Structure 1
Amino acid sequence: MEPIVILTLLAAMIILLLILGAPFKSFKWIGTGAVRLLIGALFLFFLNTFGGIFEYHLPINLFTASVSGFLGVPGIVALIFLDMMVVN
């Protein structure tokens, strides 16, 4: 899939979840978690896009998306640090 298609789908899903929201209180945390996972995946996508200039790639999977989504920028920095210290 092309990056623009993935970006468009992620943005549409985030907007849909933000507009519609979770209709039931018990499902509100599922919607919040899904939005955070999508935002984390989007952060990683941009990191990989701009990291391609420096030949750096961080895989996008459930673990990395959840860390970057729930912790934000400090989570991405921690993932980069772990990748450089442990993997390399």
Structure 2
Amino acid sequence: MDPILYISIAGIGVCLFLLLGGGVKAFRWTGGIFVRLIIGALALFFLNAFGSAVGYHLPINAFTVMVSGLLGIPGVVMLVAVDLFILM
């Protein structure tokens, strides 16, 4: 799907949330999760950037971003371990 469609759906969701009376606490919660997912995606990007020197690549998709974002560094280590020991 087109990225414009994703942004439009997110914008409509935020507007509906504001109109229906969502609290500040819910925005803080969803914002925190969104920030963690972005940090997880950046961690995977830097892992791939530095891993290219030794020939290592971990795909960046929705599942890996969620695992690395929500679990942090232990999640990235787990993804690398699963990739090296189970999938290879």
- Asked if 1:39 corresponds to 2:44, the answer is no
Name stretches of at least 5 consecutive residues in structure 2 with no aligned partner: 1-22
TM-score (structure 1 length as normaliser): 0.69
Alignment TM-score, normalising by the size of structure 2: 0.69
Partner Cα separation in structure 1 for residue 25 and residue 35 of structure 2:
16
Letter in 1 for 2:37: L
How much does 1:47 deviate? Answer: 0.1
Residue 57 of structure 1 aligns to a residue in which SS?
Answer: coil
* SS of structure 2 residue aligned to 1:53: coil
| 3-state secondary structure, aligned to 1:54 | coil
Question: How many corresponding residue pairs?
Answer: 66
Bigger CA radius of gyration: 2
- Amino acid in the other structure paired with 2:79: L
Which stretches in structure 1 are left out of the alignment for 5+ residues?
Answer: 1-22
Residue in 2 that maps onto 1:3? none
Deviation of 1:24 after TM superposition, in Å, equals 2.0
> Which residue identity does 1:74 align to in structure 2?
P
Stretches (4+) displaced over 2 A: none
Aligned match of 2:3: none
